[in-house]
Amino acid sequence: MKIVAFHTPRPRSFNYKPRFYDKRKEEMEERLKKYADSGEMETTERLRMDIKRNWKIKQDRSRTISSRTFVIYLFVISLLVYFIFFH
């Protein structure tokens, strides 16, 4: 025999359907379909290669920007030194 002092109801379940459009997810699915249709390489390997290429491009750009700023700073410091000591 089961003696229950309090009745505990079961938790209610619900169906959650998101109502927003995820643009990044859609673009990713399109890229995956494109790579799957090409058949040249596996999808993951191709995506890895694309990511590495993009990172390398960004890294090269950041290096050139940092070298430019270094040259600009060097020029400004040299002008300051010239005006302080020789003018």
Q: What is the mean pLDDT of residues 55-67?
A: 77
User: Looking at residue 77, what is its pLDDT?
Assistant: 95
Does the residue 7 lie in any domain?
no
C-alpha distances out from residue 75 to 8, 55, 65, 71, Å: 77, 30, 15, 6
- Burial class from Cβ neighbours inside 10 Å (0-12, 13-18, 19+) for residue 31 reads middle
Question: What's the pLDDT band for 59 if we cut at 50, 70, 90?
Answer: confident
Does the residue 60 lie in any domain?
yes
Does the residue 17 lie in any domain?
no
Does the residue 77 lie in any domain?
yes
- pLDDT (tens digit per residue) in 10-50: 888 888 877 888 888 888 888 888 776 666 556 778 788 88
Q: Which domain holds residue 49?
A: 43-87
DSSP character at residue 6: S
Number of domains in the chain: 1
User: Looking at residue 84, what is its pLDDT?
Assistant: 92
